[in-house]
A and B are shown apart, each in its own frame.
Chain A
Amino acid sequence: MDTLAALGNGFLVALTPYNLLWSAIGVTVGTAVGVLPGIGPALTVALLLPVTYHLEPTSAFIMFAGIYYGAMYGGSTTSILLNAPGESGSIVTAIDGHAMARQGRGAQALATAAIGSFVAGTIATAALTFVAPLMVKLALLFGPAEYFALMILALTTVTAVLGNSLARGLGSLFLGLALGLVGIDMQTGQARLAFGVPELLDGIDTVVVAVGLFAVGETLYVASRYRFETEEIFALKGSKWMSREDWSRSWKPWLRGTLLGFPIGALPAGGSEIPTFLSYLVEKRLAKKPEEFGHGAIEAVAGPEAANNASAAGVLAPLLSLGLPTSATAAIMLAAFQQYGLQPGPTLFDSNPELVWGMIASLYVGNVLLLLLNLPLVGMWVKLLVIPRPWLYAGILVFSTLGAYTLNNNVVDLVILWGIGLVGFGMRVLNVPVAPCVVGLILGPLAEQQFRRALAISQGDPTVFVSHPISAVLLAVAVLLVVGPLLLRRRNRNAAAGGTDRPGTTSTV
């Protein structure tokens, strides 16, 4: 009850016209920042810090929280419409989201992303309100061995995006793993595969690779086929509202995505991409029509988008209750707390209840504002797709190039973007799926670092991965996810060979 009373007081703070205005500014700026690739919420909050110095801390944090949530909403827009993910948490959304847009279902994709973000954001904020301390306890149980197991589990997502040819899919995965090796090795500080180029020392940015493969590669490919195809416009077909079927296919993925996103967001080395991968995998495994995945399945947009928003709320749990920043944005918000002479942690709830609860209440308010802002915008965004294709393609290429440059203000990133873009074009021509490459690039280095840390701490004893219970369970689930469908299929095939025909139970791995 104390929590409810405190939250009630928080709403009194968050709902004053003055703070509502800041929340509205925050979510609007955040949405814009999410739409633009290369400019993330972390950079935005850092740029605004000096400006907000003379502002009341409560209002400043209400705005920052708005920016953070807003960016998660906006990130899906370019993924779906242009195949150019604005943030790494929206990479998975691009796979089926853009396919939906090309089928004239862009509005539904944007709507399920926006409503899913709202549902996930609201539930996860409620979880932040009531179970934050529990989440933090769980988060601290995760050491290198547990993280490694989690990464392996996430890596099984690859099985959901491999495509029809095992060899091609694995080839793409290994390309991603190799790209992930580029740069300074964290444990020894030695450069790997950098070829003396200093700009490669920090590794290849995942957003640059995703935009290169998805947006540049794909655009070059369709442009090269343009002359041979009849003009078709991606514009809206039929209603712009979600149909009854869309709703019934979306609501469960929203909830499951939230369930994955919140706890993983609270993990100090979780990151917003991992729950989106896992959500995609789970949805494909549970879907009635798994064959639609990769070709515009609405579940594959609904789940991951809910997951990345829930993870944003998850990040705030350790930040507020322990002063533990688990993402770049959280690190800058921590610096912002210090700017006001505040120290997040258990004492903050007692010393500045107005600030903490005002900010938490503003998250609920911000979610509503974001839905009000984003749903009407859907109608405007889909008009982008009416642009004649040569213009649209040129626009995507310009937009991607600008975004890759703003990331680090570095020309080398442009060379990488276009190099990867040409590789992506080649892969598309040869019918090699690009998604496994991105999965490998993101998870490979994470898994490697955690693996080596775990072994360093155990002094080379590999049993740590099975002697730690959490790690053992996660690894077992990963094995089941890979082996299970194979066994099922074999049984089905045997059964089919035996004469009993069971249609619809065969799954593509």
Chain B
Amino acid sequence: MGSRHTGLYKAVLAAAAIAAGTLAATPSLAELKGLEIIAPASPGGGWDQHARTLQQVLQDQKLASGIQVANIPGAGGTIGLAQFVTAKKRSPAILVGGQIMLGAIVMNKSAVTLDQVKPLARLTGEYTAIVVPADSPIKSFGELLAKFKADPGSVSWGGGSAGGSDQILAGLIAKAAGVDPAKVNYVATAGGGELLASALGGHVTLGMGGYNEFAPQFQAGKLRAIAVSAPQRLAGRDTPTLKEQGVDLEFVNWRGVFAQAGAKPAEMKELQEALAKAVASPEWQDILKQRGWIDQYQPADQFAAFLKDERARIEGTLKDIGLTR
């Protein structure tokens, strides 16, 4: 009986917390007050989850207080980016972003680019899995490449949005295999359930997406992973890498955070230190494990250098595919 009563009591307390709103801040010794985290996407997606996880960890670790998450969805994050760049500066604010944003900026001819924000830190990454239905005649990545080289159009590549990470990886694989990237028969989906269903149902030859999104289907024996874009095999998995199978490629769908261009050096330092402490916390590491995100933390200067190369690679590939000129 006692436990039921405490249970009820907890329920009432939690209900009161919901009623009071989720954003209520407790005053603490936090360094950063009133931090705003912009997720340039709808609730529920990867960027939104990163924003909300950061909110939770920064708050619990007493690194910041009164944190608000704002969703500004649209156009691969470029709407959120544009608003972040042009917004009047009030409280400290950071923007969550990632690889897809790089492609979207070029594809949408965005007036605002990542030159107008300051890289703060790379946070996580996901490696891409290439999957086929369990009963597919294709047994290995080698067989897939042979089919692709013989008749590029006969292989339909299912993945996320046009110009996004998956299509870029498809283009890079084609190039490495000596096939014109413009010949890739890429079928763009809204990702998530739609992509998973077309892979499970065998409506596309292969599916591409975050390894962990597909992983439960490997265990259930409904999909087979024939390649992963990581530098070496993932811990506890036997999926061979692209490199092992003769395609010299590494590809990670990374996510990171940016500060406004007008952020002062002192503020940049504060933000960087808070993020460094947050990613080192056991809480952050636990959440990464649960979500299947891989720790790819890079501090600001390394991240900036990485971004430079990454931009060149992505913009070049989009041209090769023929999506941009």
Contacts and interface: CB of A to CB of B under 8 A. Distances in A.
A42 B44 contact: yes
Interface string B181-207: 000011111101110111011011000
Contacts of A477: none
B79 A201 contact: yes
Given A189-B107, A332-B43, A408 B4 contact: no
Interface stretch (B49-57, B227-235, B238-246, B297-305): B49-57
Contact of B188 (A50, A141, A186, A341): A186
A189 B154 contact: no
Given A328-B42, A332-B43, A318 B4 contact: no
A373 interface: no
A18 B75 contact: no
A42 to B, nearest CB: 6
B22 A51 contact: yes
Q: Which size class do A's interface residues fall under?
A: 35 or more
B198 A143 contact: yes
A53 B53 CA distance: 11
A254 B32 CA distance: 55
Given A25-B15, A184-B75, A324 B197 contact: yes
Contacts of A51: 14, 17-18, 22
A456 interface: yes
A21 B7 CA distance: 11
B307 interface: no
B306 to A, nearest CB: 24
Contact of B74 (A17, A142, A408): A408
Contacts of A323: 216-217
A341 B290 CA distance: 6
Interface in A375-400: none
A185 B323 CA distance: 12
Contact of A409 (B72, B82, B190): B72
A198 B193 contact: no
Contacts of B49: 335
A459 B154 contact: yes
Interface stretch (A68-76, A218-226, A343-351, A419-427): A343-351
Nearest to B55: A50
A18 B14 CA distance: 12
Interface string B160-173: 01110000000000
A325 B156 contact: no
B107 A198 contact: no
A18 B7 contact: yes
A240 to B, nearest CB: 31
B110 A457 contact: no
A17 B22 contact: no
- Secondary structure at chain A's binding surface: helix, strand, loop or mixed? helix
Contacts of B220: 345-347
Most buried by A among B56, B70, B216: B216
A201 B219 CA distance: 38
Contacts of B7: 18
A55 B15 CA distance: 11
Contacts of A55: 10, 14
A325 B55 contact: no
Contact of B56 (A21, A50, A459): A50
Contacts of B70: 409
Contacts of A49: 52
A198 B110 contact: yes
B8 A18 contact: yes
A501 interface: no
A310 to B, nearest CB: 19
B126 interface: no
Contacts of A48: 18, 22
A344 B217 CA distance: 10
A416 interface: no
Contacts of B185: 456-457, 459
Contacts of A123: none
Interface in A185-200: 185-191, 198-199
Contacts of B203: 143-144, 457
Nearest to A59: B11
Nearest to B104: A189
Contacts of B153: 459
Given A50-B56, A408-B73, A343 B187 contact: no
B56 A457 contact: no
A330 B194 CA distance: 12
A473 interface: no
Contacts of B36: none
Contacts of B285: none
Contacts of B281: none
B187 A457 contact: yes
Interface string A299-341: 0000000000000000000100011111010111001001101
Interface in A44-61: 46-55, 59
B28 interface: no
A22 interface: yes
A330 B193 contact: yes
A502 to B, nearest CB: 47
B290 A339 contact: yes
A311 B15 CA distance: 29
Contacts of B197: 139-140, 142, 268-269, 318, 324, 326
A182 to B, nearest CB: 12
Contacts of A59: 11
Contacts of B110: 198
A453 interface: yes
Nearest to B219: A347
Contacts of A190: 107, 323
A188 B17 CA distance: 45
B323 A46 contact: no
Contacts of A326: 193-194, 197
The 7 closest A-B pairs by CB, nearest first: A46-B43, A189-B162, A143-B203, A268-B197, A201-B75, A332-B44, A189-B163
Interface of A: 16-18, 21-22, 25, 29, 42-43, 46-55, 59, 139-144, 184-191, 198-199, 201-202, 268-269, 318, 322-326, 328, 330-332, 335, 338-339, 341, 343-347, 408-410, 453, 456-457, 459
20 contacts: A18-B8, A21-B12, A48-B22, A51-B17, A59-B11, A140-B201, A142-B197, A144-B187, A187-B162, A187-B188, A189-B188, A191-B109, A201-B108, A322-B196, A324-B193, A324-B196, A331-B192, A338-B292, A409-B71, A410-B79
